[in-house]
Amino acid sequence: MKPVEVKLGETVCEAGAPLTHAYFPEGAVLSLLTVLENGAEIECANIGREGAFGLFSAMYSRVSFNRCTVQLEGPMLRCAIEPLRAEFQQCAHMQDLLVSYSETLLSQVMQTVACNSLHSVEERMCRWLLMMHDRAEGEALSYTHEFLARIMGANRTSISLAAQSLKNQGLINYRRGTMQVQDRTGLEAASCECYAIVKARFDAFLNPTAGAVRETRSGLMSDRRAARKVP
């Protein structure tokens, strides 16, 4: 594991490129973008300190399905895929952890697809800002309307109108490419249900029930696997 620093907008991996490393954000946030033939792109998920990018390559795939860019600057850890794959193949707890996280990330992708298709730009902006607010721990967010339009797959006019509406309601404040959440409770009320659904799924992943894993002398393993070993 080696520490790396990344900058806003930096590309970590292109769609279709081979995955040679996994990235574990410690303060940064990564954005997974679906890229079309005409160059248009839209975010399908984002990854903060709760997860990692590149874990699929430790299990199955060797290439990235998405373009991965930096959405929030900060530190990350980088790990070569081969030792990670070796740990996955021999450690039952690692298998359970990576598969569980992958399932949780997939749930975010599916919810984001529905949100992008069925909810208004203003509702989607609320969801997105809440997710970034969680990761930035209340700090101001350095985003231009152009950046948000690209991430959200919307035109700049729609983004500007949505941002102005949220500002008029006293939910956010922004100037010169910097956004600040002013009323967190109000922003949650103005958001669609997608933020709460995704947050609940990640909370469940990060705080598993007491019976989800069992610690033995040889390490951590799932109850299912332990049951096959214990008479």
Count CA atoms within 13 Å of residue 115 on its CB side.
28
Judge whether residue 182 has pLDDT over 70: yes
Q: Are 45 and 32 in contact (CB under 8 A)?
A: yes
Mean pLDDT (whole number) for 136-152: 85
Neighbours of 15 (CB within 10 A): 15
Judge whether residue 226 has pLDDT over 70: no
CB contact burial 154-181 (16+ within 10 A = b; e otherwise): beeebbeebbeebeeeebbebeeeebeb
Copy the structure tokens of residue 147. Answer: 């950046």
Superfamily of domain 1-90: Jelly Rolls (2.60.120.10)
- pLDDT averaged over every residue in the chain: 87
Q: Are 16 and 48 in contact (CB under 8 A)?
A: no
Instruction: Give the model confidence (pLDDT) of 8-57 as tens digits.
Output: 889 999 999 999 999 999 999 999 999 998 888 999 999 999 999 999 88
Position with higher pLDDT, 68 vs 214 = 68
Q: Are 59 and 88 in contact (CB under 8 A)?
A: yes
Pair type for strands 67-72 and 11-13 = antiparallel
**What are the residue ranges of helices labelled H in the chain?**
56-59, 81-90, 92-118, 121-136, 145-152, 156-168, 184-190, 194-206, 223-229
pLDDT at residue 218, rounded to an integer:
43
Position with higher pLDDT, 188 vs 143 = 188
Pair type for strands 41-47 and 21-25 = unpaired
Q: Where are the domains of the chain?
A: 1-90
DSSP assigned state of 48: -
Q: Averaging pLDDT over each range in 205-209, 218-222, 223-227, which range is the top one? A: 205-209
CA of residue 103 relative to chain centroid, distance = 13
